[in-house]
Amino acid sequence: MKLPLIFVKKQPFFLLNFCLASSFLLTGCDQIKALIGTPMTDNSLSIEQISHAMPNRNQQKTAWATDIYDIFNTLKIERTPQNICTTIAVIDQESNFQADPPVANLGKTSLNALNSELEEKLGKTLAPFFRKMLKNEPTVENSFEKQILAVKTEQQLDKVYQQMFAHFSQKYYASKITNVTKLIGGDIAEKLDPITTLGSMQVHINYAKDNRRNNGNNEELRRDLYTQYGGLYYGIHRLMRYQMDYPEPIYRFADYNSGVYSSRNAGFQKMLAELSGQKIDFDGDLLIYKSGNTVSDNLSQSEKALQAMTAQGFLQLTPRQIRSDLSKEKSQKFSETEVYRTIGSLYKMKTNKDPITAMMPQVVISGAKLSKDYNTKWYADNVNRRYLACMKKVQS
């Protein structure tokens, strides 16, 4: 796992090499040392300082600060004011420091979402059985549908869904429909559960699966995410454990909402659109994805634009190399590819401006838990406001 980076202005390359090579502790290298994980104990916040940095409305600041302190140490992340305030700002935005926050109209919106996806997820054979079960089981008076409508928090909803999925699987395994798993192609709970982002920092369940801190099944993992410590652990892991060199923290906030490196990738898309004259959505996705992280064979707007520039003689790249370079879009390595470097150089040559290293992704936020659609800029601006308030408290 790569060490996390904090927010710093870009430093000259020679300074980085000098700092890495030198055996002396130079004041001018402090920011670079933070980037490569060198301890900076004089700049590390204590539990008391972390607690002080939190919003006053948080009534359990010491408990939250203690967990944040421990998780930063466990993950070997520097407890700098910038890093701590980044974490505090995201927690406050996502849950207002509640491990299992209540969500307005959660039951109704999730039930609507479930009903709208039944045929797609279960198929026309099983969907009618499932709808009948929703309305009539385990009893008409206390049906799963009524239980769902009564929930207030995600964990409550998750529990109802887990009971419902178990009931459905057991009942219809014993019926003429003999193998639910074969019919729907996998775990019914994971296929239908609408709660895909969990806990105080709203981490996607797939990310938690890929970075488990404990052994256990998916249900146990979900329970862990609903605890204060578990929600913080996976959220801090996702927020801070990847390299970046953005000029401002707001772009990391945008990434937390729309995907790692999406701000860098949106900047690349902007440069590519100007150079190619092609229409490109600045959403931070350079390839088209199917379910999960599986890359589609279809060409994205970015890939088409690069191939067009190659055909016109502006780039000396093969379609295979373009696809290979774009496949690194969710890692730091994309910044080192021929495609990224070439587009940056051409942009500077054509416009006489520095390459765009970060840009706010233009992504719409929607989902069963939201009362209306928002966008990534709205999200990042709100988190950044909380971040600045936190930094002001740290410095007071």
pLDDT given at position 385? 98
Confidence tier at 292 by pLDDT (50, 70, 90): low
pTM assigned to the model = 0.80
**How far is the C-alpha of 54 from the C-alpha of 50, rounded, in Å?**
7
| Sequence letter at residue 225 | L
Cβ neighbours, 10 Å, residue 83? 24
pLDDT given at position 224? 95
**How much is the average pLDDT of 354-373?**
79
**How much is the average pLDDT of 208-223?**
91
Q: Rounded mean pLDDT of the chain? A: 84
Q: What percent of the chain has pLDDT over 70?
A: 82
**How much is the average pLDDT of 62-75?**
98
pLDDT reading at 391 higher than 80: yes
pLDDT given at position 11? 35
pLDDT reading at 143 higher than 70: yes
Angle between helices 228-240 and 218-225 in degrees, nearest 10: 90
pLDDT given at position 172? 62
Summarize pLDDT for 89-120 with one digit per residue, the tens: 999 999 999 998 888 888 888 888 888 888 88
Summarize pLDDT for 298-347 with one digit per residue, the tens: 999 999 999 999 999 999 999 999 999 999 999 999 999 999 999 999 99
pLDDT given at position 248? 93
Confidence tier at 84 by pLDDT (50, 70, 90): very high
**How much is the average pLDDT of 75-87?**
96
pLDDT reading at 85 higher than 80: yes
Name 176's Cβ contacts closer than 8 Å, sequence gap at least 6: none
Please count the CA atoms within 13 angstroms of the CA of 352 that sit on its side-chain side.
0
Q: Look at 66 and 372; give whichever has higher pLDDT.
A: 66
Confidence tier at 13 by pLDDT (50, 70, 90): very low
pLDDT reading at 77 higher than 90: yes
**How far is the C-alpha of 13 from the C-alpha of 244, rounded, in Å?**
15
